[in-house]
Amino acid sequence: MEAYKIENLTKQYGVKTVFENLSLSISTGDKIALVGINGTGKSALLKCIAEIEEHNGTVTHPNGFTIEYAAQSPVLDESLSITDNVLDLAHPVMQLFKKYNHILKQMESDYNDTLAHELSEVQTQIEQMDGFTYRSSAEAILTKLGILDLEAPVTTLSGGQKKRVALAKSLLKAPDLLLLDEPTNHLDFESIYWLIQFIKNYNKAVLVVTHDRYFLNEITNRIVELRNGKLYQYRGNYEDYIVQKAEDELILANQEQKERQLYKQELAWMRKGAKARTTKQQARIDRFSDIEDKVKAQKKSETMEINLQNKRLGKQVFELESVGMHFDDKILFESFSDIVQTTDRIGIVGQNGTGKSTLLNLLSGELTPETGTIKVGQTVRVGYYRQIEMELEKDMRMIDFLREKAEIGFTATGEKISVTQLLERFLFPSAVHGTYISKLSGGERKRLYLLSILIQGPNVLLLDEPTNDLDTETLTVLEQYLESFKGAVITVSHDRYFLNKAVTSYWYIHEYTVHKILGDFEDYLDFKSQIEKSITIQTPEKSEKHKNQEKGTKRVSYKDKRRFEFLTDAIESLEQDIADIDSAIAQETTNYDKLNQLTTERQEKEILYETYFEEWDELSARME
Amino acid at 449: Y
What is the b/e burial string over 560-574, where b = at least 16 CB atoms within 10 angstroms of the residue's CB? bebbbebbeebbeeb
Mean pLDDT highest for which of 29-38, 130-139, 466-475, 550-559? 29-38
Task: Report the alpha-carbon distance of residue 530 to residue 523 in Å, rounded.
Answer: 11
3-state SS class at 389: coil
Give tens-digit pLDDT for 307-354. 655 666 667 899 999 999 998 778 999 999 999 999 999 999 998 889
pTM above 0.85, yes or no: no
Distance of CA 514 to the CA centre of its chain: 25
Give tens-digit pLDDT for 243-259. 888 887 777 777 777 77
Strand-pair partners of 311: none
**Is the separation of the CB atoms in 618 and 563 below 8 Å?**
no
Residue 538 has pLDDT above 50, yes or no: no
Angle between the 92-109 and 558-587 helix axes, to the nearest 10 degrees? 140
Helix ranges (H only) for 272-315 are 279-297
Residue 619 has pLDDT above 60, yes or no: yes
Instruction: Give the model's pLDDT for residue 296.
Output: 59
pLDDT-derived band of residue 554, with 50, 70 and 90 as boundaries? Answer: very low
- pLDDT over 90 percentage in the chain: 33
How many other CB atoms sit within 10 Å of the CB of residue 238?
Answer: 22
Distance of CA 321 to the CA centre of its chain: 35
Mean pLDDT highest for which of 218-227, 313-322, 596-605? 218-227
Does 328 or 511 have the greater pLDDT score? 511
- 316-327: strand order across its sheet: 330-341, 316-327, 371-376
Does 381 or 389 have the greater pLDDT score? 381
Instruction: Give the model's pLDDT for residue 88.
Output: 77
How many other CB atoms sit within 10 Å of the CB of residue 134?
Answer: 17
DSSP conformation letters of 598-624: HHHHHHHHHHHHHHHHHHHHHHHHHH-
- 56-60: strand order across its sheet: 16-27, 2-13, 56-60
Longest pairwise C-alpha distance within the chain: 115
Instruction: Give the model's pLDDT for residue 285.
Output: 66
| 447 to 19, 205, 395, 424, 487: CA distances (angstroms) | 21, 31, 17, 12, 21
Mean pLDDT to the nearest integer, 154-180: 91
Does 200 or 278 have the greater pLDDT score? 200
pLDDT-derived band of residue 286, with 50, 70 and 90 as boundaries? Answer: low
3-state SS class at 420: helix
Residue 540 has pLDDT above 60, yes or no: no
Angle between the 592-623 and 558-587 helix axes, to the nearest 10 degrees? 150
| 547 to 541, 543, 544: CA distances (angstroms) | 10, 6, 5
Instruction: Give the model's pLDDT for residue 592.
Output: 60
Helix ranges (H only) for 22-112 are 42-49, 82-86, 92-109
Strand-pair partners of 548: none
Instruction: Give the model's pLDDT for residue 547.
Output: 43
Sketch out the chain's domains with CATH numbers.
Answer: 2-240 (3.40.50.300), 316-389+457-534 (3.40.50.300), 554-623 (1.10.287)
Distance of CA 21 to the CA centre of its chain: 29
What is the b/e burial string over 517-542, where b = at least 16 CB atoms within 10 angstroms of the residue's CB? beebbeebeebbeeeeeeeeeeeeee
Interacting residues of 416 by C-beta distance below 8 A, sequence separation 6+: 408, 409, 410
Residue 604 has pLDDT above 80, yes or no: no
Give tens-digit pLDDT for 359-388. 999 999 999 999 999 999 988 999 999 987
What's the whole-number average pLDDT of the chain?
83
Give tens-digit pLDDT for 60-109. 998 889 999 998 888 898 888 898 899 877 777 778 888 888 888 888 77
Task: Report the alpha-carbon distance of residue 605 to residue 588 in Å, rounded.
Answer: 19
Rounded (5°) CA angle 574-147-363:
140
Instruction: Give the model's pLDDT for residue 414.
Output: 64
Query: What pairing do the DSSP bridges indicate for beta strands 408-410 and 416-418?
Result: antiparallel
Instruction: Give the model's pLDDT for residue 537.
Output: 42
Instruction: Give the model's pLDDT for residue 39.
Output: 82
| 516 to 261, 331, 341, 346: CA distances (angstroms) | 57, 19, 14, 9
- pLDDT over 70 percentage in the chain: 84
**Is the separation of the CB atoms in 30 and 205 below 8 Å?**
yes
